[in-house]
Amino acid sequence: MFVDQARIVVMGGRGGNGCVSFRREKYVPRGGPDGGQGGAGGSVDLIADPSVKALNSFRFKRKFAAERGRHGEGSNRSGRDGEDLLVRVPPGTVLLNAEDGSPFADLAKAGLRVRVARGGRGGRGNSSFATSTHQAPRESEPGEPGEERTLLLELKLIADVGIVGFPNAGKSTLISRISAARPKIADYPFTTLEPNLGVVDLGEFRTFVVADIPGLIEGAHTGQGLGIQFLRHVERTRALIHLVDVSDMSGRDPLHDLEVINGELRSFSAALAAEPQIVAANKIDALQDRSRLKSLENHCAARGVEFFAISAVSGKGIKTLLNAVWNLINRPAAHRPAAHRPAERVTLGGEGEPVPTPDAGGTQK
């Protein structure tokens, strides 16, 4: 099972209590207060780890609490700080506040790390309250509670190119032809129930990652079929391959299918609909009525969209299609649509780096 959404609760450790203690030793009549302070509670960090592929580990474990700080002790001994808790998530995970759905952080690249729950401060012992006029204080401070937060995790697969289209358009067959991915392939709709990733190798160090998204139908943005459950996985792509079934036996109108899917993309996200797109007319080896192909080609030409006729089964036209995709995703940023130029992201620090990790309040520990 591929899990791409999860709800978790993160809790920073509580700080240790300060200690009330007085030095009492032989031949030391005026020992005075010597209560140490409590240790700070541990914090909870999330890090993008490429060895984690999905959010399956959060199906049953949903609460993550860091260690609390130890209490202070006599002889001015401070309590030990609690250990930080590091939770690993797959790269591409978006963190949202569960209360209002607002963005919290975007772990889009491997190694990005963010503090999601800060540990509480340790309380002061009575030695910290001693003054010249208050030489035997009996007060101390309790440790502060750590932060607690409920987060929604959404995984958006990181791929360069997404393949979209109606069910049975041949998306799984295409990705199995152009990469080492082996998705389930059958002659009935909705064979693909989860996204599949594959690496396309064109030689000469030209590679890109492609994502096969389960088939869309009319009304998908309102929850029809598989709904919008998987459309988030193509939000990070730099281009789309729109696969259209033009075979005679499909009984469908290719032009209508093209417009329906584009309409669903617009309804889901205007930015996604503006992605650079290549239309691939699939199953031309099962096409007798050439007018079906010609009308689709003319429609794409009128809108300045690149068009290719292919057969995912025989491999006809696929090499030309992949070279066009490579050229499209490697265009200079200035030539890409403004809505899809990659946004600058601030690296929050990787594991083991001496970079302070920002927490939810914008402070540093």
Neighbour count for residue 161 (Cβ, 10 Å): 25
Question: Which comes out higher in pLDDT, residue 37 or 228?
Answer: 37
Q: Are residues 135 and 271 in the same domain?
A: no
| Confidence at 194, pLDDT banded by 50, 70, 90 | low
| Confidence at 358, pLDDT banded by 50, 70, 90 | very low
d(CA 362, CA 333): 31
Question: Which helix (H) or strand (E) element contains residue 64?
Answer: strand 63-65
d(CA 21, CA 301): 84
19-58 residue pLDDT tens: 999 988 888 777 889 999 999 999 999 999 988 888 888 9
Which pTM value belongs to this model?
A: 0.69
Percent with pLDDT over 70 in the chain: 82
pLDDT for the residue numbered 302: 92
CATH of residue 30's domain is 2.70.210.12
Please check whether residue 336 lies inside any domain of the structure: no
Q: Are residues 62 and 119 in the same domain?
A: yes
Q: Are residues 346 and 244 in the same domain?
A: no
Q: Are residues 147 and 275 in the same domain?
A: no
Q: Are residues 225 and 262 in the same domain?
A: yes
Residue (of 323, 239, 253) closest to 281 by Cα position: 253
Q: Are residues 313 and 244 in the same domain?
A: yes
Q: Are residues 130 and 249 in the same domain?
A: no
Q: Are residues 265 and 347 in the same domain?
A: no
CATH of residue 220's domain is 3.40.50.300
Range of 204's domain? 161-331
Provide the number of structural domains found in the chain.
2
Q: Are residues 320 and 348 in the same domain?
A: no
Please check whether residue 276 lies inside any domain of the structure: yes
Question: Which comes out higher in pLDDT, residue 148 or 160?
Answer: 148
